[in-house]
Structure 1
Amino acid sequence: MTPAVELRGVSVHFGRTVALHGLDLAVAPGETLALLGPSGSGKSTALKAVAGFLRPTSGRVLLAGRDVTDTPPNRRGLGVVVQSYALFPHLKVADNVAFGLRARRMPRRAVAERVEEVLDLVGMAGFRDRYPRQLSGGQQQRVAIARALAIRPPVLLLDEPLSALDAALREEMVAELLRLRSELPDTAIVHVTHDQGEALALADRIAVMRDARLVEVGPTESLYHRPAEAFTASFLGASNLLPVEVVDADTVRLGDVRLAASSGGLPPGEAVALGVRPHRVGVREFTGHGLAARLVAVQWRGTGFRLDLDLELGHRLRAEVPAVEGLAVGSRVEVSIPDGCPLVRVA
């Protein structure tokens, strides 16, 4: 199948600054790919290269197999939604949504029908005569999505579309985007975000980026449960990374303690890190049968408690537990690490 979007060795330089380095990536028709990473990782630069807002310093951009590297944005036929909404303040909702259709000189009746169709799709049919200033942030974002979808784009580009919303609205819009995905089974979506929750909820695959480079890409669930790179494990799920040594196919050594973990074919003696999610760490009063640690700090997080621990083997560990009865800051405690935690490569 020909990818809906393909980047071949795309790099973007601003003078001596490398904003994107040699990115190879493809998105299939109907697939949602999240570009995930911290600020400055290159994810928005990659999106702008696809949209045509930036021309690559090197490499090529293809849409449905057609090289569009030198094609201007208005001739690429893409839908683009940005975090600032970018609605025209002097135009009513219906006119904002109709803007791209009128630019394509569609017949008036066809424009009106399509505007009603996409406003209904995003739940904004009753707001067609309002101005953007009369809408909430979530409503404005729905209008921006409707405008992007009005031209029936084969590819929808979302650049941090929910970052300007408060937590409640963001949850609401995640649900809305999930519904839209089911309504648009043939539309490829590239979603730029620094929020791992958004990426996990919305994406079929996630591409993790750091320092202008692609770190790792894979199906969402496998990338979360079995990351290959230390940065992926720490950024996607906030894993503790414990330096360990491979003993055999099913065992690693943390200091003098042996733990069960699949080596994935790594040779004995290989230095790797064990990725341990905070919610999988067990903490109890010290009995002498587990890993000894000192409880350094406790934070209540509403649904549970976050604990910072110093292992006596010399490593810091974070845990998330539902209760802390019998555990006091400064006390010696016992830590358990479950079997089957992934091993990841360290730089």
Structure 2
Amino acid sequence: MTPAVELRDVSVHFGRTVALEGLGLSVAAGETLALLGPSGSGKSTALKAIAGFLRPTSGRVLLGGRDVTDLPPNRRGLGVVVQSYALFPHMKVFDNVAFGLHARRMPRREVAARVAEVLDLVGMGSFGGRYPRQLSGGQQQRVAIARALAIRPPVLLLDEPLSALDAALREEMVAELLRLRAELPGTAVVYVTHDQGEALALADRIAVMRDARLVEVGATEALYHRPAESFTASFLGASNLIPVEVVDAETVRVGGVSVKASASGVEGPVVLGVRPHRVGVREYRGSGLAARLVAVQWRGTGFRLELELEPGLESGVGPVLGVGRRVRADVVDVGGLAVGALVEVSIPDGCPLVRVA
């Protein structure tokens, strides 16, 4: 099946500055792909290349199998929502949403019906007569989405659309976007974000980017549980990356303790990726992986512990891989443990081995 969006080896350079290098990606009709990465990773540049706001230095952009690399944005038929909303302040909500329809010379009667339809879709049906300044941030975001959807685009581009909202509004809008996605099953969505929670909640697949390049792409759940690259493991889920000695295809040793790992065919230098909520901590009993409790942070629903791995006191273990490494653990209760205490750390079986970038 022809992809709704396809980037073929797309690069964007500004003089000697590389904003995007050799990106190859495709998005199917009805699929949501999240471009995830830190600032400067190239994710917004990729979206702007799709939208036509930037022309690639090299490579091609295709929409529905049609090469649009040289077409201006207004001839690509895309819906675009940016983080600043970009609503016209002098126009009421109705006119903002109708703007793209008027540009396409749609009859006025059809415009009114279409605007009413998309405003109802985003829960803003009774706000058509208001100006943007009379709306909250979340309401303005809904109007921006309605305006993008009014032209019934085959592809919807969202560039960090929730970054300007507070935490409660972001959570509300994630739920709203999930509902909209169910209402628009044929629309392909490219969602740019640096927030892993948004990407995990909304995307069918995630493309992780770093330093203007694609690091790894895969189905959301698979990428979370079985990342192949250390950067993916640390950025998508904040994994601890612990140096280990590989014993065999399923076993590694850290601090003198053997752990079953999920190798998934990873080759080359590797580390063990262990998410903080999977790290167990208790009083040291002389038989497990020893660590010193360095810091404790209360986070409302639990505690973030910072630990430093070290040899077990009774084992006489000398310098080994993992010892001296800082490890984070998320626990519900510290159980009376104090900073400076020697504790025992447990690492569950099945954590992935990931390639060191």
Q: TM-score by structure 1 length? A: 0.98
Give the whole-Å Cα distance in 1 for the aligned partners of 2:295 and 2:302: 14
Give the conservation status (yes or no) of the 8 Å contact 1:11–1:22: yes
Give the conservation status (yes or no) of the 8 Å contact 1:293–1:310: yes
Which residue pairs with 2:144 in the alignment? 144
Q: TM-score by structure 2 length? A: 0.95
The answer as to 2:327 corresponding to 1:317 is: yes
SS in 1 for 2:244: strand
Which residue pairs with 1:333 in the alignment? 343
Which residue pairs with 2:300 in the alignment? 302
**Shift of residue 253 of structure 1?**
1.9
Give the conservation status (yes or no) of the 8 Å contact 1:122–1:176: yes
**Shift of residue 266 of structure 1?**
5.5
**Shift of residue 241 of structure 1?**
0.2
Question: What is the total number of aligned residue pairs between the two structures?
Answer: 345
**Shift of residue 289 of structure 1?**
1.6
SS in 1 for 2:285: coil
Which residue pairs with 2:287 in the alignment? 289
Give the conservation status (yes or no) of the 8 Å contact 1:208–1:214: yes
**Shift of residue 258 of structure 1?**
1.7
Give the whole-Å Cα distance in 2 for the aligned partners of 1:286 and 1:280: 18
Give the conservation status (yes or no) of the 8 Å contact 1:138–1:173: yes
Give the conservation status (yes or no) of the 8 Å contact 2:266–2:353: no
CA RMSD of aligned residues (A): 0.9
**Shift of residue 262 of structure 1?**
2.9
Which runs of no fewer than 5 residues in structure 1 stay unpaired? none
Q: Which amino acid aligns with 2:275?
A: R
Which residue pairs with 2:314 in the alignment? none
Residues 162-216 of structure 1: CA deviation (Å, up to 9, x unaligned):
0000000000000000000000000000000000000000000000000000000
SS in 1 for 2:262: coil
Give the whole-Å Cα distance in 1 for the aligned partners of 2:23 and 2:263: 29
Which residue pairs with 1:213 in the alignment? 213
Give the whole-Å Cα distance in 2 for the aligned partners of 1:132 and 1:262: 51
Give the whole-Å Cα distance in 2 for the aligned partners of 1:316 and 1:77: 50
Which residue pairs with 2:80 in the alignment? 80
Q: Displaced runs of 4+ in structure 1, greater than 4 A?
A: none
Q: Which amino acid aligns with 1:252?
A: V
**Shift of residue 255 of structure 1?**
4.1
Residues 47-83 of structure 1: CA deviation (Å, up to 9, x unaligned):
0000000000000000000000000000000000000
Q: Which amino acid aligns with 1:285?
A: E
**Shift of residue 119 of structure 1?**
0.2
Give the conservation status (yes or no) of the 8 Å contact 2:271–2:354: yes
SS in 2 for 1:208: strand
SS in 2 for 1:248: coil
Percentage of identical aligned residues: 85
Give the whole-Å Cα distance in 2 for the aligned partners of 1:325 and 1:218: 39
**Shift of residue 263 of structure 1?**
2.8
Give the whole-Å Cα distance in 2 for the aligned partners of 1:271 and 1:127: 57
Residues 289-327 of structure 1: CA deviation (Å, up to 9, x unaligned):
211000000000001000000000211100000001221
Which runs of no fewer than 5 residues in structure 2 stay unpaired? 311-322
SS in 2 for 1:342: strand
Give the whole-Å Cα distance in 1 for the aligned partners of 2:108 and 2:293: 68
